[in-house]
Amino acid sequence: MIDFVKVGNKIARLRKQQGLSQEELAEKLYVTRQALSKWENGSVPSIDIVLLLAKSFDVSFEELLCLDDAEGLKVDPEDLFKGQPRNVVLNAILTGKLVVDLPKVFPQFAPNERWALLKAIKEKKLPCSLPRLLMNLTPAETHFIKGGQ
């Protein structure tokens, strides 16, 4: 679920980081300063405006909408993805913002997610107990993690 108050705060923060006033950014977007002020206070901008804002700030659509934000992310180890977007949980784990017992939760991941995790483990970007993890791997995954391609 998108938290538009959080998005509004991000718009204001990014605008200020670029040294722009509300008036200046509104001009760049061809909208009124009042419209921009509403968005910064949690009103919902149109998808076209969201795309323009993302381009103007040189950030991804996901970043602008706080979809990749792991702050405040609460997961249930028994069901990691319950009530959470899968990509947010996976990215939070891959970036170290969310620490989980990987060997225990590994079976919950889809095949493409498992490969992303294994790649990070193999590159030593993600700490993990290999002996415990090996029990949850397919033969191809085991081959990969032990040194194969």
Q: How distant, in Å, are the alpha carbons of 13, 57, 100, 126 from that of 20? A: 10, 11, 40, 38
CATH topology of domain 4-64: 434 Repressor (Amino-terminal Domain) (1.10.260)
At residue 41 the predicted structure's pLDDT band, cuts being 50, 70 and 90, is: very high
Burial of 25 per CB tally in 10 Å (0-12, 13-18, 19+) = buried
Q: How distant, in Å, are the alpha carbons of 16, 55, 90, 148 from that of 108? A: 41, 35, 11, 24
Which of 51, 68, 57 lies closest to 17, judged by CA? 57
Which of 65, 50, 47, 71 lies closest to 10, judged by CA? 65
Computed over every residue of the chain, the mean pLDDT equals: 89
pLDDT at 70 over 60: no
Evaluate if pTM is beyond 0.85.
Answer: no
At residue 32 the predicted structure's pLDDT band, cuts being 50, 70 and 90, is: very high
Domain boundaries, the chain: 4-64, 100-145
State pLDDT tens for residues 99-120: 899 999 999 999 999 999 999 9
At residue 75 the predicted structure's pLDDT band, cuts being 50, 70 and 90, is: confident
- The pLDDT, as a whole number, for residue 149 is 60
